[in-house]
Chains A and B, each alone.
Chain A
Amino acid sequence: EVQLLESGGGLVQPGGSLRLSCAASGFTFSNYAMSWVRQAPGKGLEWVSLIYSGGRSTSYADSVKGRFTISRDNSWNTLYLQMNSLRAEDTAVYYCVKFGQQLDIYNWFDPWGQGTLVTVSS
């Protein structure tokens, strides 16, 4: 069974940093691109970032570009999201998601992790 388990969320002050982790299991992690998707309280889904299967190529939403860094460790089957210069508008549940097909960045997300809540507030 494919499982994605996020951790690292919490309360942080504006301007602060946080690092999210996502432990993956049940599939060949190194064969799949991965992504982070967030959902602000009471709002819709927003794609945040993606990383190719090998980890060398990444892409970011304009709202986080220059502040967030996605990375992965294929030896440890773990995805990361380093979040710096956090703002109140970054408050959201952050989901770790796997692309539905190997070596693909254009298609669907399945499954989704349970999410980890990040709250940016003073």
Chain B
Amino acid sequence: QSVLTQPPSVSGAPGQRVTISCTGSNFNIGAGYGVHWYQQLPGTTPKLLIYVNNNRPSGVPERFSASKSGTSASLVITGLQAADEADYYCQSYDSSLSGSIFGGGTKLTVL
């Protein structure tokens, strides 16, 4: 069981908007540590999508955005495309574990 909780799956039609939640605790997200998001396309290595709550590396479309509030964070994808079908993971630091933690991952299906 992951320290950060994500829904196992979400889905949406092309062009729609989807939200993926990531719930932590006062030892990680609630303690002020940044939340980061990764995209793992089928059969590939995870790729950084969002860092420190809502910053996009160069090359990541503006359709991807994120936010953080209290002990939770969310990734929002707008204008869904078939190419967005992937697994998405949130990540943060946990002071009680003295290390990084990941969410269990959310599989996005584009209908």
Contacts and interface: CB of A to CB of B under 8 A. Distances in A.
Interface of A: 35, 37, 44-47, 49-50, 59-62, 95, 100, 105-115
A107 B45 contact: no
Contact of A107 (B36, B38, B46): B36
20 contacts: A37-B100, A37-B102, A44-B2, A44-B103, A45-B38, A45-B89, A45-B102, A47-B102, A50-B100, A61-B99, A62-B97, A100-B51, A106-B33, A107-B36, A107-B93, A108-B91, A109-B48, A109-B100, A112-B46, A114-B45
A59 B52 CA distance: 22
Given A35-B100, A44-B105, A106 B93 contact: yes
Contacts of A110: 48, 51, 57
B12 interface: no
A47 B34 contact: no
Interface residues of B, number: 25
B101 interface: yes
B63 interface: no
Given A47-B101, A59-B99, A112-B47, 14 more contacts: A45-B46, A45-B105, A47-B99, A49-B99, A50-B100, A62-B97, A95-B46, A105-B93, A107-B34, A108-B36, A108-B48, A111-B48, A112-B46, A114-B45
Contacts of A61: 97, 99
